[in-house]
């Protein structure tokens, strides 16, 4: 296929490389800084999103937030200006389910298909092509795009209509945030009580408390390795979507609100560019104790 890919960041670059390595023709918008592996590949740089769309059958977006998707699609010389009937837009960003439906309606009015397909798995999953992909959109469009999803992920689910993919991702981010907070509290409690947090984590990994978060992010908390796989700032955005959506439908999410406040405390201290496992730092401030301390 001829594929356009816009958003070659921490996750987007490895995702795009999987498509190139599988033999697909890739177009991207040239920026001042291009991922070296992308620059060294057969991918072709274009000047604008319009040009990318005009030269592609499928356009994939992987950008940070709702306004970014809107700008890429409908801004000056944006993707929408280069689309023609029969093409497909796949938004793999994590954005507002409500705005997703509005964006989709505009793209569908041009005679094109629209899929919202946010992902979970972070930088590790993007590099390993093991992402979880949650897809909203029509069944025929999903069937045509599935071969591309299979190059980037392992757990691929068509969850329903346009917007349902984003709703699923918001639910995912609620679960992840609350698990990070729980692991942080548990390891902090153990550490300040005088136990070795590394050995406590090892013991818990064999029981009912075992989880992927305890395995990966628990280790990050102990080793203080907070280089971003998924930044606090981005997770903050996702929890804001959850709380805004909850308000709109009349649902209380008290634990989500608590996790959002912990992330806000991290952001206030300039830690929003750290990995979301660094949420533990807000808990450590209140305890005046670091998990890694003796």
Distance CA 129, CA 143 (A): 19
Largest CA distance in the chain: 65
The three-class DSSP label of residue 28 is strand
d(CA 101, CA 164): 9
247 is catalytic: no
Q: Could you tell me where the DSSP H helices lie in 132-205?
A: 139-152, 164-192, 197-204
Query: Alpha-carbon distance 73 to 96, whole Å?
Result: 15
Pairing mode, strands 44-46 and 153-160 = unpaired
- Which entry of 50, 87, 127, 169 is annotated as an active-site residue? 169
Residues ≥6 apart with Cβ < 8 Å to 221: 183, 184, 187, 197, 277, 280, 291, 292
Residue positions counted in the chain:
294
Q: Give me the half-sphere count of Cα atoms (radius 13 Å) on the Cβ side of residue 7.
A: 21
In 277-290, which positions are buried (b, 16+ CB within 10 angstroms) versus exposed (e)? bbbbbbbbeeeeeb
Per the CB < 8 A criterion, the answer to whether 277 and 262 are in contact is no
Catalytic site residues?
A: 169
């Amino acid at each position: 296929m001829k594929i356009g890919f816009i958003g070659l960041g921490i996750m987007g670059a490895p995702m795009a490389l999987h498509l190139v390595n599988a033999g697909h023709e890739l177009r991207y918008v040239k920026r001042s800084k291009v991922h070296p592996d992308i620059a060294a590949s057969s991918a072709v740089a274009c000047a604008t999103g319009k040009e990318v769309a005009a030269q592609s059958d499928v356009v994939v977006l992987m950008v940070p937030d709702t306004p970014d998707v809107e700008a890429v699609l409908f801004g000056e010389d944006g993707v929408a200006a280069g689309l023609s009937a029969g093409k497909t837009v796949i938004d793999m960003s994590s954005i507002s389910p409500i705005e997703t439906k509005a964006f989709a309606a505009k793209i569908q009015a041009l005679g094109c298909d629209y899929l919202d397909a946010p992902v979970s798995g972070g930088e590790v999953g993007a590099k390993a092509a093991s992402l979880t992909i949650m897809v909203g959109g029509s069944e025929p469009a999903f069937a045509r795009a599935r071969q591309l999803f299979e190059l980037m992920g392992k757990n691929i689910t068509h969850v329903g209509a346009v917007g349902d993919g984003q709703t699923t991702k918001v639910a995912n981010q609620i679960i992840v945030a609350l698990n990070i907070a729980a692991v942080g509290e548990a390891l902090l409690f153990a550490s300040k009580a005088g136990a070795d947090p590394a050995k406590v984590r090892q013991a818990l990994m064999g029981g009912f408390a075992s989880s992927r978060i305890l395995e990966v992010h628990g280790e990050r908390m102990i080793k203080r390795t907070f280089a971003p796989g998924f930044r606090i700032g981005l997770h903050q955005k996702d929890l804001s979507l959850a709380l805004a959506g909850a308000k709109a439908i009349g649902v209380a999410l008290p634990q989500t609100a608590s996790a959002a406040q912990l992330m806000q405390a991290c952001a206030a201290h300039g830690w929003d560019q750290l990995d979301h496992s660094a949420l533990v730092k807000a808990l450590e401030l209140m305890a005046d104790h670091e998990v890694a301390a003796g």
